[in-house]
Amino acid sequence: MVADNFSGTGYKDTLADLPKSEHPYQLAEGLAAAIYVCDTNGYIKYFNKAAADLWGREPEIGNDLWCGSWKIYEPDGITTVLLDTCPMAVALKEGRSVRGKEVLVERPDGVRRNVMPYPDPIFDNAGKLVGAVNMLVDITHLKENEKALKESDERYRQIAAELEKRVEERTKDLNEANLSLNRINSELEQFAFIASHELQEPLRKIRTFSERLETKATTLDDNAQAYLHKIKNASDRMSTLISNLLTYSRLGYLNKQFEKVPLNEVLKNVLSDFEVTIEQKNAVITSSGLPEIYAVPLQMNQLFHNIIGNSLKFSKTGATCEINITSRNLPSEEIKKYQLNEDLAWCEILFKDNGIGFSQEYAETVFYIFERLNSRDQYEGTGIGLALCKKIVTMHGGKIFAESQENAGTVFHVILPLDATM
């Protein structure tokens, strides 16, 4: 640094009597950075307020050497730095700028600050050393942040290690659970085989012998004929129950052949199955706008069959059974509302009937397996149909729910994806 009119004389001779506006270091007074100046002998001849605040004291002009600090340490806070070896002393003695030498300054009140000095020698126009100026940058907050970051990083590493350990433990648990689940699935398949063969065989025999007895019903009294009728009905119901339960239990294990399924064709096939019942009930079934979706054809047939069969079963006695089936595409706000996959397009299929209905408080209960709201004497059934519907819809990633009112009919809402889900 070169000074045009830098004087090497004492502070009092050159600064004390000058008006404040003419003070050569007036600009430094307003700076936030600590700045001070020494003469060629190292005596302090000027310091600004920021320097005094940093040091926690005001050095004596012309008497304090090299620095206004009370004490100086190496960054470790233990090793003392002698004043005549501080960065300012080096800059003056060696006539060069000093960079990268961090020090720890201790104030008289014991407070310590991390400081980065930037001393530069001052030369006149002839190249003669006439003093030095030093800017002290307080980096305490940076050091504290650095420490906090290190502690945070260490804590992060500890958390990461703990999480990794937990993941390993959880993975081990899941692997063991999968093995257990595979064993259970295997046992379920064996049970399904037994249910479909071994348990059905005794029922076939019961029905066969019941039918043979019926041919000789003329030789039986009224009570015997009633007992025979009950045996036949019970065996028929047991056979249906086993068949439905088998379908429900195996639903999740069957190969899922997803393909484009036109729901209008599914409805047409189901109505054909119910042709006799529709005629007996004098039912009127209408539909409009059913889409083509990506699904398992057989399961869509089961879904429509069970819901329509439910509406036919619970129609009002003596009244025309009316079932209206419609569809609409779900808008984005409803896709979010039902927490569905927003990357897919969804449709809602409505099955609305004018049957006996039920209290809305049972809207979830009707989908439970074996759950019945009506007496078996009044309405036949196994209590599996709607549970099977819920399982099918869930396997397709959708939702099903019902809105109903006693003696005012029921609306089944079935929400299914139009696109592939897997």
At residue 291, the pLDDT reads 93
Block residue for tokens 């830098």: 6
Full DSSP string of 86-127: SHHHHHHHHTS---S--EEEE-TTS-EEEEEEEEEEEE-TTS
Q: How far apart are CA 53 and CA 251, in angstroms?
A: 80
Residues 263 and 403 in one domain: yes
**The two structure tokens encoding residue 408:** 């005012």
At residue 201, the pLDDT reads 66
Q: For residues 254 and 46, which has the higher predicted lDDT (pLDDT)?
A: 46
What mean pLDDT is reported for the chain? 80
Contacts of 323 (CB under 8 A, 6+ apart): 283, 284, 285, 286, 308, 311, 312, 351, 352, 353
**The two structure tokens encoding residue 70:** 């009370």
At residue 12, the pLDDT reads 38
pLDDT band at 5 (very low <50, low <70, confident <90, very high): very low
pLDDT band at 7 (very low <50, low <70, confident <90, very high): very low
Q: What's the start-to-end Cα distance of the chain, in Å? A: 73
What's the mean pLDDT in 167-190? 75
Residue 108 Cα distances to 45, 76, 88, 105, angstroms:
21, 19, 20, 10
Is 106 part of any domain? yes
What's the mean pLDDT in 254-281? 85
At residue 175, the pLDDT reads 82
Q: Which residues pair with 135 in a beta bridge?
A: 35, 118
pLDDT at 396 over 50: yes
Q: At what angle do helices 200-214 and 140-197 cross, to 10 degrees?
A: 30
Q: How far apart are CA 25 and CA 134, in angstroms?
A: 13
Picking from 84, 103, 138, the residue at the C-terminal end of a domain is 138
Among 59, 51, 140, CA closest to 104:
140
**The two structure tokens encoding residue 27:** 């600009």
At residue 145, the pLDDT reads 80
At residue 13, the pLDDT reads 41
Is 50 part of any domain? yes
Is 408 part of any domain? yes
What's the mean pLDDT in 59-75? 92
At residue 16, the pLDDT reads 46
Residue 292 Cα distances to 295, 297, 327, 340, 393, angstroms:
9, 11, 11, 19, 16
Convert the pLDDT of each residue in 401-411 to its tens digit.
999 888 888 99
At residue 191, the pLDDT reads 64
Convert the pLDDT of each residue in 194-218 to its tens digit.
665 566 667 777 777 777 777 766 6
Full DSSP string of 241-288: HHHHHHHHHHTTTS----EEEEHHHHHHHHHHHTHHHHHHHT-EEEEE
Residues 265 and 393 in one domain: yes
pLDDT band at 363 (very low <50, low <70, confident <90, very high): confident
**The two structure tokens encoding residue 121:** 């020698």
Residue numbers of the domain that contains 276: 254-417
- 6 with 123: CB under 8 angstroms? no
pLDDT band at 422 (very low <50, low <70, confident <90, very high): very low
Q: For residues 187 and 128, which has the higher predicted lDDT (pLDDT)?
A: 128
Residues 123 and 258 in one domain: no
At residue 97, the pLDDT reads 93
pLDDT at 264 over 90: yes
- Number of domains present in the structure of the chain: 2
pLDDT at 412 over 70: yes
pLDDT at 378 over 60: no
pLDDT at 377 over 60: no
**Which burial class, exposed, middle or buried, applies to 108 when counting CB atoms under 10 A from its CB (0-12, 13-18, 19+)?**
exposed
Q: What angle do CA 91, 66, 100 make, to 5 degrees?
A: 45
**The two structure tokens encoding residue 204:** 């076939």
Q: Fill in the amino acid letter for 31.
A: L
Picking from 109, 138, 167, the residue at the C-terminal end of a domain is 138
Contacts of 118 (CB under 8 A, 6+ apart): 97, 98, 99, 134, 135, 136, 137
Block residue for tokens 């808008």: 331
**CATH number of the domain residue 334 falls in:** 3.30.565.10
What's the mean pLDDT in 221-235? 72
Is 225 part of any domain? no
Is 284 part of any domain? yes
Picking from 121, 138, 155, the residue at the C-terminal end of a domain is 138
**The two structure tokens encoding residue 158:** 């500890």
Is 26 part of any domain? yes
At residue 65, the pLDDT reads 92
Predicted TM-score (pTM) of the model is: 0.47
**The two structure tokens encoding residue 45:** 């001849």
Q: For residues 211 and 332, which has the higher predicted lDDT (pLDDT)?
A: 332
Is 204 part of any domain? no
Convert the pLDDT of each residue in 287-297 to its tens digit.
988 999 999 88
Is 47 part of any domain? yes
**CATH number of the domain residue 99 falls in:** 3.30.450.20
pLDDT band at 15 (very low <50, low <70, confident <90, very high): very low
